[in-house]
Structure 1
Amino acid sequence: MANILLAARGSHPPPTVGKNWPSTFINRHPKSIQAWFTTVQQVIDKNGIQPEDIYNFDETGFAMGLISAQKVVTRQECYGRRSILQPGNREWVTAIEAICADGYSLPPCVIFKEKVAIASWFDNLPKDWRFEISANGWTTDQIGLRGLEELFIPSTSSRVRGRFRLLILDGHGSHLTPQFDRICSENNIIPLCMPPHSSHLLRPLDVGCFAVLKRTYGRFISDLARTGYNHIDKLDFLADFQRARVEAFRPKTIQNSFLATGLVCSRPSSRSSQFTSKTPRTVVQLQKQASTLKDLLKQRSNSPPSPSKLMLDQIIKGHCISLRNTALLAQENANLRATNEKKRQKRSRSARQIPCEEGWNVEKGLQLLTQVDLPVEAPMVESHTQVELPVQPNQPAPRAQPRCSGCREVGHKINVCRQSIWRLLRESNLWKWLVLQRPELKPEHVAKRLQWALRVRDYTPEKWKKVFWSDESTVERGKGSRREHTFTRPKDQIALRDIQEVSYKGVKQMFWAAFSGSRRHTGLIPLSGDPDSPRGGVN
């Protein structure tokens, strides 16, 4: 407003106020601030407003991928301004918040820059959150009215202590419309706008909550950037914004914000100074324990520092270093796990679009999603017996049997064609090839194999390593036969002179062995004959 008044003077180019103009304006006009507090106190006394009925209603904006200002520790030899990594999305998002002087925070209203709503926005969020969409991600007069009618009034009607509710506002245009005033008067809400250029001093949301909210959200974005997550979309914003609200809108923080702005009187608080000794889990707890221990030792002994005190200091210092390293590793591990889980959840979320003419809360959005999934019945039809059922589509034609490109026969491909295999063997000079006909695979054998496969389909690689595979084999002394199902070139064949002759032949021996995927194995265990077996088995 100050820049508009300066431009109206006709100067070219029009001058603008400096960054310190609001503070100097307040210093020059202290009576306006005093008049504000006088007006607030008069409204409270005249209408009998309780502290539990004083609310602050305001909006704030976020650039989804920007990190707040932070301090960075670098090496001493690094000069100049260091380059930093910022996630690339700078899309604007507006959040409308409302808080009460007793520490209660209302559900937020999130405004996205979109034309339609996305189904995945409503996942894993409280049912009372509200979403709005606009062309640029900013609030409008209509959005402000819907936020008052459908969010603020329903959320505070059950908490009214007196007759009237006091609503502290700034000078935003969406709060100064006649419709806004009419709705407030119909619901016993007294809107009260603060003086211009003083919201950073008089508005509780600016004094306490919004600063913590943006700082916490920026810290979460910075943690994601450190783990290599460099693009922040709306789903990432909702997840981190929900976590940041938990830290920013604590009851104690909200109460202190109203106390700092002078809207309510301070209340006495009692603090316990008792300290209970317990095992330290953090560096702060360790320092408290160490301070208490040193005080006790100092009370019992007034002697100067001794070697035992120096040893105690070294033990405490080493414990502090260990706790800090453990905390850093645990935080890094938690961040990586959270990033991995977030990526996995995003891949499984729905991207279905929903036509959106006005804002919804999460509960209504989920209801509309279920309605979209239901089948739509044709109009002017009372029952399905009055109309003909739709014709079912024809079943796809069965696929033709494969044809071999080598022998041109139907029923197999060239990679399993016998003639093609023989031709390849002759071209490769592989003549000694013994093939035995495998036994026919009967249906009962197929069923057993299928049952076994279904039973072990959920095995992990670690579990497969624990499985032992066993088999037996018969060895006949002096026979020297080649292995079956083996391709051997003529120059690699075993000659008769390489086979050792023995004086006795026809002696057979069966051996059994087992091994696992973890390279554990048994020795060759000889098996003896079983005279009770009808087929001459072994045991």
Structure 2
Amino acid sequence: MADSIETEVSRVNEAVKHARSQKKPNLREVARQYDVNYRLLWRRVNCNMKPKTEVKPSNYTLNVYQEKALGYWIKTLDASFLPPTPAIIEHWANATLARSKTPDRTVGKDWVYRYIRRFPDTEMKLRRQKIIDSKRLGITDVAELYHWYDLLAKALEGVNPRNIYNFDETGFQIGQGRTRRVFSSQSGKASDLPGTEHGERVTVAECIAADGWRMQPLVIFKGQHHMESWYNHPIPDEWITATAEKGYIIDKLAVRWMEEFDRETRTRLKNGEQRILLVDGCGSHLTFEFLDTATEAGIKIFGFPPNRTNYLQPLDGKPFQAYKAYFKTQNNLISQWGGGLLASKSSFLNDLYQFRDKALTPRMCRNAFSERGIYPVDAKKVCESLENALPPIPDIEIDLSGEKTPSPEPDLLSSSLENTPSKTFKDVEKRQKHLSPLLCRPDLTPKEKKTLAQVLDEQEFYFNALANTTATIREMAAIRAPREKKTTRRRVMGLSDDSVIRVKDAKRSIAERKAKEDKKDERRAVKELEKKYGVPTTPRITEAQREAEAEPLYSESGEVIGFYDKF
């Protein structure tokens, strides 16, 4: 039986050691003694040649330290339930080459598989990760969830809830409403509400903490340029907007978001504390740059098991469900009261501002972590409900007596009988209370009393009808206002090149552009007047300049009684 490669290499090394210990060794005798090839032994002793196992091939793309660092990242992701794909590993390798002053050099298409074959950890192998229906959950999957919760408890041990975060994105389809029930006299189905099921998609990235804190959202529009019409609304200055080709979050936007997350949450840290960020297995969350930025900032990334984020991720629960419900309801209101003006990209930020505080309340954010068993860590909140998802087989009882079960008596205290009419205005009630004694006066005829009673009843009716009409007009005006503004195709200029900006920077750029145009229009008007009348004209004085240059007028007692306008 032939010896293994390790045994043959060991014999050659012993033969070389034995030969070098002698002054004039007989290499042929030593080769026969250790049963090795004479020519190989001669080259090793006389030419000082090293074995191939000790020589690093010169054609390796990454050096020893780069491959070691890459292996560390792979193990870190796998331990966080975010195993990388070969495509992600290839992207990391190319990013490593770009940082090592060889940006034009990339790994080959088969490099990843050769690297995996020589990976030092023999337990790390390419394994199949299937996509299954989230409702198909077996006993093995539940056991894995219990194991995941055990690891989560160790990771969150001693961590304050203000340092436990969850980051995820959700998509909104502009103009998409929801089916609802309406009160109508039309027979059959009510008239359809205008809307669209194929509107442009906008992605909103949100981050919440276990103590109810919310980060400023990142709104990603589909396109390449920021338009001025997006910011012509009263929206918070600290919101972050970006553009992407398809309207989804991409790698560079995820890295930029991580930088903003580090900046906003660093002030919430105390000495020696660490931040834990829970993320799903989205590709933009697994890039080398995203994880490297988190590591440098001292942020620990902890992932969810694949295909289980709908059970485990806090944002995927009630926060995003309420988000979508408020958004679709808002679109229904726009369709109903907007007079044919549907939701648009220009008014999306304004619409988002209207319902975001209602959907992502601090209480709902805290409950999202609690209901998913994240904080405090409690695996039973999720696992037990999944184990009991299949109802037990009921015991069937057959009644052979032939007697019919008596129908239950009607509940006379049902909710339909308990409903009371809504309250009216206090002033109307006071007038009715003040005038009602007139109905008891003996000098009034029955006809006069009947007329007075009708007036009192109609007074309440008209007051309520007027209030409803006023409220409807205000609602229509509030919904139409941001959509009736004249939109332009003007871009926001003078901003950074990474497509990510803050709302306050966009507003500042727009204000600077308008100020320059106003000065230009003023100079043009002055030139036209000079051309028409042939004499220089006095430049236009603003109200601020007029107030600043005005001299006060004093009375004999020394009080200011007015101002003298020099202009």
Deviation at residue 265 of structure 1 after TM alignment:
2.5
Equivalent residue, structure 2, for 1:432: none
Asked if structure 2 preserves the Cα contact closer than 8 Å seen for 1:65 and 1:90, the reply is: yes
Deviation at residue 223 of structure 1 after TM alignment:
0.7
Deviation at residue 70 of structure 1 after TM alignment:
3.0
Deviation at residue 224 of structure 1 after TM alignment:
1.1
Deviation at residue 234 of structure 1 after TM alignment:
1.9
CA distance in 1, matches of 2:463, 2:370: 37
CA deviations on 1:237-267 (whole Å, 9 max, x unpaired) are 1111111111011111111111101111399
Equivalent residue, structure 1, for 2:264: 155
User: Are residues 1:342 and 2:482 paired?
Assistant: yes
CA distance in 2, matches of 1:246, 1:198: 28
SS of the residue corresponding to residue 59 of structure 1 reads: strand
CA distance in 2, matches of 1:100, 1:252: 11
SS of the residue corresponding to residue 25 of structure 1 reads: coil
CA distance in 2, matches of 1:164, 1:323: 60
Corresponding letter in the other structure for 2:504: E
Residues 26, 253 of structure 1: CA spacing in aligned structure 2 closer, same or farther, 3 A cutoff?
A: farther
SS of the residue corresponding to residue 125 of structure 1 reads: coil
Deviation at residue 231 of structure 1 after TM alignment:
2.5
CA distance in 1, matches of 2:469, 2:515: 49
- Superposed counterparts of 1:92-241, under 5 Å: 92-123=201-232, 124-149=234-259, 151-161=260-270, 163-227=273-337, 228-241=339-352
Residues 176, 117 of structure 1: CA spacing in aligned structure 2 closer, same or farther, 3 A cutoff?
A: same
Q: Which runs of 5+ in 1 are unaligned?
A: 5-15, 268-281, 287-317, 377-391, 400-539
Residues 323, 39 of structure 1: CA spacing in aligned structure 2 closer, same or farther, 3 A cutoff?
A: farther
Residues 329, 361 of structure 1: CA spacing in aligned structure 2 closer, same or farther, 3 A cutoff?
A: same
Deviation at residue 188 of structure 1 after TM alignment:
1.2
Asked if structure 1 preserves the Cα contact closer than 8 Å seen for 2:216 and 2:239, the reply is: yes
CA distance in 2, matches of 1:28, 1:158: 42
Deviation at residue 168 of structure 1 after TM alignment:
0.6
CA deviations on 1:441-471 (whole Å, 9 max, x unpaired) are xxxxxxxxxxxxxxxxxxxxxxxxxxxxxxx
Which of 22, 29, 32 does residue 134 from structure 2 map onto? 22
- Superposed counterparts of 1:82-481, under 5 Å: 83-87=192-196, 90-123=199-232, 124-149=234-259, 151-161=260-270, 163-227=273-337, 228-265=339-376, 329=469, 331-344=471-484, 346-347=485-486, 351-354=490-493, 357-358=497-498, 359-370=500-511, 372=513
Which of 133, 138, 144 does residue 32 from structure 1 map onto? 144
Deviation at residue 121 of structure 1 after TM alignment:
2.6
SS of the residue corresponding to residue 169 of structure 2 reads: strand
CA deviations on 1:506-528 (whole Å, 9 max, x unpaired) are xxxxxxxxxxxxxxxxxxxxxxx
SS of the residue corresponding to residue 213 of structure 2 reads: coil
User: Are residues 1:57 and 2:167 paired?
Assistant: yes
CA distance in 1, matches of 2:231, 2:192: 37
Deviation at residue 219 of structure 1 after TM alignment:
0.9
CA distance in 2, matches of 1:41, 1:176: 23
CA deviations on 1:406-462 (whole Å, 9 max, x unpaired) are xxxxxxxxxxxxxxxxxxxxxxxxxxxxxxxxxxxxxxxxxxxxxxxxxxxxxxxxx
SS of the residue corresponding to residue 301 of structure 2 reads: strand
TM-score computed with the length of structure 1 as normaliser = 0.52
Number of residue pairs aligned between Structure 1 and Structure 2 = 320
Residues 32, 212 of structure 1: CA spacing in aligned structure 2 closer, same or farther, 3 A cutoff?
A: same
SS of the residue corresponding to residue 360 of structure 1 reads: strand
Q: CA RMSD in A?
A: 4.0
CA distance in 2, matches of 1:366, 1:17: 45
Residues 350, 114 of structure 1: CA spacing in aligned structure 2 closer, same or farther, 3 A cutoff?
A: closer
Residues 35, 116 of structure 1: CA spacing in aligned structure 2 closer, same or farther, 3 A cutoff?
A: same
Residues 34, 82 of structure 1: CA spacing in aligned structure 2 closer, same or farther, 3 A cutoff?
A: farther
Residues 26, 264 of structure 1: CA spacing in aligned structure 2 closer, same or farther, 3 A cutoff?
A: farther
Corresponding letter in the other structure for 1:156: T
Corresponding letter in the other structure for 1:360: I
SS of the residue corresponding to residue 315 of structure 2 reads: helix
SS of the residue corresponding to residue 117 of structure 1 reads: coil
CA distance in 2, matches of 1:27, 1:327: 59
TM-score computed with the length of structure 2 as normaliser = 0.50
CA distance in 2, matches of 1:232, 1:189: 38
Residues 135, 39 of structure 1: CA spacing in aligned structure 2 closer, same or farther, 3 A cutoff?
A: same
CA distance in 2, matches of 1:250, 1:338: 23
Deviation at residue 356 of structure 1 after TM alignment:
6.0
Corresponding letter in the other structure for 1:201: Y
CA distance in 1, matches of 2:467, 2:196: 26
Residues 50, 103 of structure 1: CA spacing in aligned structure 2 closer, same or farther, 3 A cutoff?
A: same
Asked if structure 1 preserves the Cα contact closer than 8 Å seen for 2:369 and 2:375, the reply is: yes
After TM superposition, the structure 1 stretch with the greater mean CA deviation from structure 2, 57-66 or 220-229, is: 220-229
Asked if structure 1 preserves the Cα contact closer than 8 Å seen for 2:163 and 2:210, the reply is: yes
CA distance in 2, matches of 1:55, 1:284: 46
Residues 190, 332 of structure 1: CA spacing in aligned structure 2 closer, same or farther, 3 A cutoff?
A: same
Deviation at residue 163 of structure 1 after TM alignment:
1.6
Instruction: Give aligned-pair identity as a percent.
Output: 24
Larger helix proportion of the pair: 2
Residues 120, 29 of structure 1: CA spacing in aligned structure 2 closer, same or farther, 3 A cutoff?
A: same
Q: Which runs of 5+ in 2 are unaligned?
A: 1-81, 86-129, 379-418, 424-457, 518-525, 534-567
CA distance in 1, matches of 2:473, 2:351: 18
Residues 356, 187 of structure 1: CA spacing in aligned structure 2 closer, same or farther, 3 A cutoff?
A: closer
Asked if structure 2 preserves the Cα contact closer than 8 Å seen for 1:88 and 1:230, the reply is: no
Residues 240, 284 of structure 1: CA spacing in aligned structure 2 closer, same or farther, 3 A cutoff?
A: farther
Deviation at residue 329 of structure 1 after TM alignment:
4.6
Residues 88, 322 of structure 1: CA spacing in aligned structure 2 closer, same or farther, 3 A cutoff?
A: farther
Deviation at residue 341 of structure 1 after TM alignment:
2.8
Corresponding letter in the other structure for 1:338: A
Corresponding letter in the other structure for 2:486: R
Asked if structure 1 preserves the Cα contact closer than 8 Å seen for 2:166 and 2:277, the reply is: yes
CA distance in 1, matches of 2:281, 2:159: 22
Deviation at residue 334 of structure 1 after TM alignment:
2.8
Corresponding letter in the other structure for 1:347: K
CA deviations on 1:369-410 (whole Å, 9 max, x unpaired) are 45556879xxxxxxxxxxxxxxx98989869xxxxxxxxxxx
CA distance in 2, matches of 1:66, 1:55: 30
